[in-house]
Each structure stands twice: as structure tokens, then as C-alpha cells.
Amino acid sequence: MQITEQEAYDIVVAQIGTLSGVAASQGVRLNHVKAHGMLYNMAVKDRALARGIARAVHDVDKSLVFFGLAGSHMLDEARALGLTAAGEVFGDRSYQPDGSLTPRSKPGAMITDVNQSIEQVLRMVKESKVIAQDGSTVTVKADTLCLHGDQPDAVEFAIAIRAALKEHGIAVKAVSTAS
């Protein structure tokens, strides 16, 4: 599947507009925007697609924080437009040597052991590093952490990771998941 920069822009503008309307109807406003799933993973590798998404966020509401994969050009594109960008790391996914996430279709893409997940999160937060599937070290800057809510034991992972972060004196502002 191929999406052009303009198509990504149009899709994201429409989605932010719709979601902003729903949020406003409930008396709240959006805080951040994160592409999801295939669009997110495509934008990690496609600078034009990342630019289209970032332009959409910028043009709809410059005050929204742009979430993108830590170390990716998604963040560069957002910052180039003057957006506040947050580097996202994943506590329940394995990484590739280029800093991308291991595709879910590959073995070991999901981390299913809570202790392994805690170890990975602590390394990313404290050392700005993650160990890729091939054993190499990848530099990441963790501003926000994602866990997948569709994973078995996601709630237990979130509770354990939060406790480990607090135990190490690392402030936790909120916990959210993606599914």
C-alpha cells in the first residue's frame, strides 16, 4: 500500500478535525496526535509521509504535541514546522538495528515477558538505549512510552512498569496504551 504525502495530509486533517469535534462535545480538547498502526510504521521509513502528517497537525492545531518514534525523521519533520515533538518508545515491542519496530509478522516482535519489558523500558529511559533483536545498541530518547492494549496482560505490564519507574525515581505523568 502506498500513500502520498498529500493523501496522508488529507487523512490526518480529517481525523484530527473529527476527533477534536468529539472531544469538544465532551468538554475536553486534544493534547497530542499520534499516527497509528501501518500509517505510523510507514511514516517511520518515509520522510514525505512523515512530513504530510506533521503538516496536517501543524495546520489544524500548532499546540498539539506530535508523537513519533524516538530517533525517527517523524520528529525531525514535526520540529522543522515548529511543533513540539515527543519521542515515543515501546515497552512491549522489539526493535530492529535501524531503530524501527520489529514487524508484528516476525517472531519476537512482541515482548511477552514483563521482566524483559521492564528491563527494556528502564534502559531506554535511563540510558537512552535499546537493544535491537540482533544484539546491537540503538540510541533512543524516551519522552513518552507506549504499551499495546491488545496484548495479553497489558494492564499487568503497565502496573509493573509504572512501579519499576517509580522505584528508580523516574516520574510518571500518565499511562496510556495503544491497541
Q: How many residues does the chain have?
A: 179
Q: Does residue 178 have a pLDDT over 80?
A: no
Give the whole-number percent of the chain exceeding pLDDT 70: 97
Whether 121 and 127 have beta carbons less than 8 Å apart is answered as no
pTM for this structure?
A: 0.90
Mean pLDDT across the chain: 94
Helices (H), the chain: 5-25, 37-45, 47-60, 73-80, 114-127, 154-167
Which pLDDT band holds residue 109 (cuts at 50, 70, 90)?
Answer: very high
Q: Does residue 179 have a pLDDT over 70?
A: no
Q: Which residue has the higher pLDDT, 175 or 89?
A: 89
Give every CB contact of residue 79 below 8 A, 6+ residues apart in sequence.
Answer: 85
Whether 154 and 123 have beta carbons less than 8 Å apart is answered as no
Q: pLDDT value at position 66?
A: 97
> What pLDDT digit, counting tens, does each position of 114-167 carry?
999 999 999 999 999 999 999 999 999 999 999 998 888 999 999 999 999 999
Q: pLDDT value at position 171?
A: 85
